[in-house]
Structure 1
Amino acid sequence: LPVSTDCLGTPIVYSPVKADLTGNIKKIRAVYDSNPAKFKTLQNILEVEKELHGSAWPKIGATLALMWLKRGLKFILVLLQSISDGERDEEHPNLIRVNALKAYEIALKKYHGWMLQKLFTGSVYALPYKSDLLKALEKGKEVKEEESIEKIHQFLTRVTPILDAIYEMYTKMNAELSYKA
């Protein structure tokens, strides 16, 4: 099951989201690539950056990039979990606005200022239909909704514990920042 921001519909609306996620991945990857033996784990990267940057940490480098990446990934996971759980707008069951708003509320809203919150709320009207999202996740193949939902569930079962471990690491290392973008 490929999870990609390409599945979210209107490129002009969601291209900044995709650019943000891929930019954060590139920043983390660049640090890793600079010394793979030294940076075997994400925790190694955070520990080295904490020592290297002193009081500027965690507002810098791969630590900051991973912080925003994990938030974006949490948004995607909560969105998919909400769809998998069958949550929907009863009047418009093929729309995923309810799912996206729930995911935003849980994963990102508290980190965004008023302007970004309003921008997101407006952008949910550009989201694809649930059926189109599921088809995109299946790389265009026609698959029964139940099969797609089962694949989403399997994906969530594998990925959620990894993301939870990253959140726990940030908490233990006191690396989480609560400022608004």
Structure 2
Amino acid sequence: MSTWFDQQKKSFADVPIGADNGISTTEFLEAAESLTTLFDVLGSKAFTPVKNDLTGNIKKVRERQLAAPAESETLQALVVNELKTKKHVASEGLLWLVRGLDFTAQALRHNLDNASSELSNSFREAYGNTLKPHHSFVIKPIFSAAMSATPYRKDFYVKLGEDQGKVNESLDREVVALEKNVAILKAFQETKEAKW
């Protein structure tokens, strides 16, 4: 039985992380793009702004990677090298992408760990912990609408695959890998070399 995870181009579990915690840019962006399709599974048009935000930030990082491939093999190198040019388009894109991925990871982790919790609760709590403090009063209602538009837990998990044991196992594997990538990048973004 195939699950939604089996159909993805790249999983965060497949993103190479170097000895120095350098995260491979190409695989990371492919995994992030794959993950954005999860918002399609949620099924509501209310999630379009959330998905567009993620894909827009992926595009900013990818454009920098394409413009300077030798300086962009890892996300950390991409940021450091872009900042040397006195620009920060991709660096800021990555900052927002990490916030969006952190939001997604926290929502999914909360839902995995709390079997009786509805998705709307998990997403609302994650939003409050991650994106909400950085959002303007114009953006907050758009994202709040998305949190309220989440499907029922039972309907969402069925869309991910028929074999719920396999779905939970795959989801947990993805979330663990996503949490690791996000933690590494958040720590890097706190360093002086990642600031503009």
- Give unpaired runs (5+ residues) of structure 2: 9-34
Structure 1 residue 175: Cα displacement: 4.1
1:1-181 mapped onto 2 (5 Å cutoff)? 1=5, 2=8, 3=35, 4-11=38-45, 13-53=46-86, 60-86=88-114, 88-89=116-117, 95-136=118-159, 138=160, 141-144=161-164, 146-173=165-192, 175=194
In structure 2, what residue type is equivalent to 1:152? L
Q: Is the 8 A contact 1:88 1:96 kept in 2?
A: no
Give the superposition deviation at 1:105.
Answer: 1.1
Q: CA deviation at 1:123?
A: 3.1
Alpha-carbon contact 1:79-1:102 (below 8 Å) kept: yes
> For residue 92 of structure 1, what is the aligned residue in structure 2?
none
Is this contact kept in 1: 2:44–2:150, CA < 8 A? Answer: yes
Q: CA RMSD in A?
A: 2.1
Partners of 1:21 and 1:69 within 8 A in 2: yes
| AA at the equivalent of 1:166 | L
Give the total of aligned pairs. Answer: 162
Distance 1:123 1:23 in 2: 18
The 1:119–1:149 alpha-carbon spacing in structure 2 relative to 1, beyond 3 Å, is: same
State the shift of 1:10 in Å.
1.0
Stretches of structure 1 lacking an aligned partner (at least 5 in a row): 90-94
How far did 1:50 drift? 1.6
For residues 129-174 of structure 1, give each alpha carbon's deviation from its aligned partner in whole angstroms, at most 9, with x where no partner exists: 21232233x3xx3122x43222211112222111111101100136
Q: Which has the larger radius of gyration?
A: 1
Distance (Å, rounded) in 1 between the aligned partners of 2:140 and 2:116: 21
Distance 1:117 1:88 in 2: 26
